[in-house]
Structure 1
């Protein structure tokens, strides 16, 4: 038996009233609640995203719901380059030949 993680997606729920934010726990895992910006982050299963989004939007204390775009973003930094291919260059204008004097410091 192997472990398979369940695919989840975040719903960003903007609220009118923060008192009912705890009620979002029945729809999924409430990851974060911001009282200042009046939103909550709720993780739901990937297959139930559309149905849960419609149910949450019908609640009276919810302003609107947005779907997180995190799975669509490419998270690789710098492409497919290896460390041998990266060329580090220093401009001659950026290099100082003078040693700092104590008065300058």
Structure 2
């Protein structure tokens, strides 16, 4: 069974402690310039993980990714018949 995963953006003071974040989940990306880490963890444990991460002294802020709750299915992109006829006008 595949567990649902959620991404966490973790803003940190220093990059020295990135290795300590491995125990909370899978590190996907580390930005050296902007000092943040993208970490994936189980969705069921995400609230507990956020609380534990916020309690660490080197963490500035933790935000949860909203991607699982964003609508990705869109309406069909076929144009209306009236609009289609307007494009066929010749000069």
TM > 0.5: yes
* Structure with bigger gyration radius: 1
Secondary structure of the residue that 1:71 maps to in structure 2?
A: helix
What is the aligned counterpart of 1:39 among 36, 39, 45? Answer: 36
The question of 1:86 aligning with 2:79 is answered yes
Q: Whole-Å Cα distance in 1 between the matches of residues 38 and 52 of structure 2?
A: 15
What CA deviation, in whole Å up to 9, does each residue of 1:32-63 have, x standing for no partner? 10011110011010110111100011111100
Secondary structure of the residue that 1:47 maps to in structure 2?
A: coil
Q: Whole-Å Cα distance in 2 between the matches of residues 12 and 72 of structure 1?
A: 16
Q: CA deviation at 1:29?
A: 0.5
In structure 2, the residue matched to 1:20 is 17
In structure 1, the residue matched to 2:50 is 53
The question of 1:8 aligning with 2:5 is answered yes
The question of 1:71 aligning with 2:68 is answered yes
Relative to structure 1, is the Cα distance of residues 91 and 14 closer, same or farther in structure 2, using a 3 angstrom cutoff? Answer: farther
Q: CA deviation at 1:91?
A: 8.2
Computed over aligned residues only, the root mean square deviation of the Cα atoms, in angstroms, reads 2.2
